[in-house]
């Protein structure tokens, strides 16, 4: 990641935000849109909607604006920490400004917010959706504006853990058809970028979008580790990898509609035969041990 983008990533990660306390990040997104000439609006509960360019159908990128952490001023430090493969990489970790103790950096999902902003910078015609209050039940995405999504061809969220995961289903809601043009046209790119662990995940916002609307969705790794804990960190190369992959995926999928009506299959004994590592990650810990959430939030939410 170049120095300019690293500075931008640190800037986004440094913004304190929590469920129903997303105001600082919402304000930041509004200022970003004004500065970059992007059409945007904020609804009554704080969901941010952004449109760039003119198209019959838009790709839409998604990241929620809340975290499970408290609203504290923080310092984001560069440290060398392990990625999912055990490689020691440049990472970002947060500490309280007042006493220097660790505090969750909120890469879940501020790293996703950063990736969405990079997509807005890269593409001429694209939409972005930044919902509030995902961590306690996807409240923001449950009230997504149908008019905004009426010309969305597909949605890509960046709210899966570490550097090698993506969601096949969310709480039993299937996000895309396995043998569809939507998935088969980008599957090789996804695998080339190391996203080989495909999971039945718990909640995040694309589940609600899939329930509400008829377009296909994806949810990719955003490079955050030990989420929902004070020791959460973000691996810089992992964020860049997903950013690079997303540019390729959106470039292939283009500005068209990929229709897929909602199907909930886990409750019916749904299974998926994948040539890659695949599991039901229903505990949402990505097999890295039992992470204790000190904030009173359910780890059902990503």
In whole angstroms, give the CA distance from residue 69 to residue 248: 33
pLDDT at 150 over 60: yes
pLDDT digits (tens, 9 = 90+) for 212-238: 999 999 999 999 999 999 999 999 999
The residue with greater pLDDT, 188 or 202, is 188
pLDDT at 265 over 50: no
Q: Please give the average per-residue pLDDT across 285-294, as a whole number.
A: 34
Give the confidence band of 201 by pLDDT, cuts at 50, 70, 90: confident
In a domain, 294, yes or no: no
Q: Please give the average per-residue pLDDT across 44-67, as a whole number.
A: 98
| pLDDT for the residue numbered 63 | 98
| pLDDT for the residue numbered 123 | 98
Closest CA to 90 of 272, 239, 217: 239
Give the confidence band of 263 by pLDDT, cuts at 50, 70, 90: low
The residue with greater pLDDT, 200 or 232, is 232
| pLDDT for the residue numbered 272 | 34
pLDDT at 291 over 80: no
- Distances, alpha carbon 288 to alpha carbons 84, 271, 283, in Å: 9, 23, 11
Q: Please give the average per-residue pLDDT across 200-222, as a whole number.
A: 93
Domain count, the chain: 1
Give the confidence band of 171 by pLDDT, cuts at 50, 70, 90: confident
pLDDT at 175 over 50: yes
pLDDT at 264 over 80: no
Per the prediction, the chain carries an average pLDDT of 89
Gyration radius from the chain CA atoms = 18
Q: Residue 272's domain is classified under what CATH number?
A: 3.40.630.10
In a domain, 14, yes or no: yes
In a domain, 72, yes or no: yes
In a domain, 71, yes or no: yes
Q: Which residue range(s) make up the domain with 230?
A: 3-279
Tokens of 227: 């989420």
In a domain, 296, yes or no: no
In a domain, 249, yes or no: yes
| pLDDT for the residue numbered 202 | 84
In a domain, 214, yes or no: yes
Q: Which of 210-224, 241-255, 284-298 has the lowest mean pLDDT?
A: 284-298
Give the confidence band of 295 by pLDDT, cuts at 50, 70, 90: very low
| pLDDT for the residue numbered 302 | 59
pLDDT digits (tens, 9 = 90+) for 84-120: 999 999 999 999 999 999 999 999 999 999 999 999 9
pLDDT at 16 over 50: yes
Give the confidence band of 136 by pLDDT, cuts at 50, 70, 90: very high
Q: Please give the average per-residue pLDDT across 41-49, as a whole number.
A: 98
In a domain, 288, yes or no: no
Give the confidence band of 261 by pLDDT, cuts at 50, 70, 90: confident
Is 190 in contact with 141 (CB distance < 8 Å)?
Answer: no
| Reported pTM | 0.89
Residue 102 CB neighbours (<10 A): 16
């Amino acid at each position: 990641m170049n120095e300019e983008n690293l500075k931008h990533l640190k800037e986004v990660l440094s913004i304190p935000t929590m469920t129903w306390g997303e105001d600082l990040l919402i304000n930041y997104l509004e200022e970003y849109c004004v500065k970059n000439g992007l059409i945007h609006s904020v609804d009554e509960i704080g969901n941010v909607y952004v449109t760039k360019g003119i198209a019959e159908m838009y790709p839409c990128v998604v990241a929620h604006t809340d975290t499970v952490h408290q609203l504290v001023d923080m310092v984001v430090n560069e440290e060398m920490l392990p990625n999912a493969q055990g490689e020691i990489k440049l990472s970002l970790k947060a500490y309280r400004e007042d006493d220097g103790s660790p505090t969750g950096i909120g890469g879940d999902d501020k790293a996703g917010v950063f990736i969405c902003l990079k997509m807005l910078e890269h593409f001429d015609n694209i939409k972005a959706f930044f919902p509030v209050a995902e961590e306690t039940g996807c409240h923001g995405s449950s009230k997504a504006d149908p008019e905004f999504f009426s010309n969305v061809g597909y949605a890509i969220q960046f709210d899966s853990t570490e550097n090698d995961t993506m969601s096949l289903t969310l709480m039993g809601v299937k996000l895309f058809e396995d043998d569809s043009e939507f998935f088969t046209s980008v599957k090789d790119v996804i695998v080339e970028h190391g996203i080989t662990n495909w999971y039945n995940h718990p909640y995040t916002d694309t589940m609600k979008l899939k329930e509400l609307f008829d377009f296909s969705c994806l949810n990719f790794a955003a490079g955050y580790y030990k989420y929902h804990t004070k020791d959460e960190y973000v691996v810089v190369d992992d964020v860049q990898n997903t950013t690079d992959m997303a540019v390729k995926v959106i470039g292939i999928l283009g500005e068209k509609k990929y229709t897929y009506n909602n199907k909930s299959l886990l409750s019916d004994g749904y299974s998926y035969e994948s040539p890659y590592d695949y599991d039901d990650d229903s505990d949402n810990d990505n097999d890295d041990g039992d992470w204790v959430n000190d904030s009173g939030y359910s780890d059902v939410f990503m």
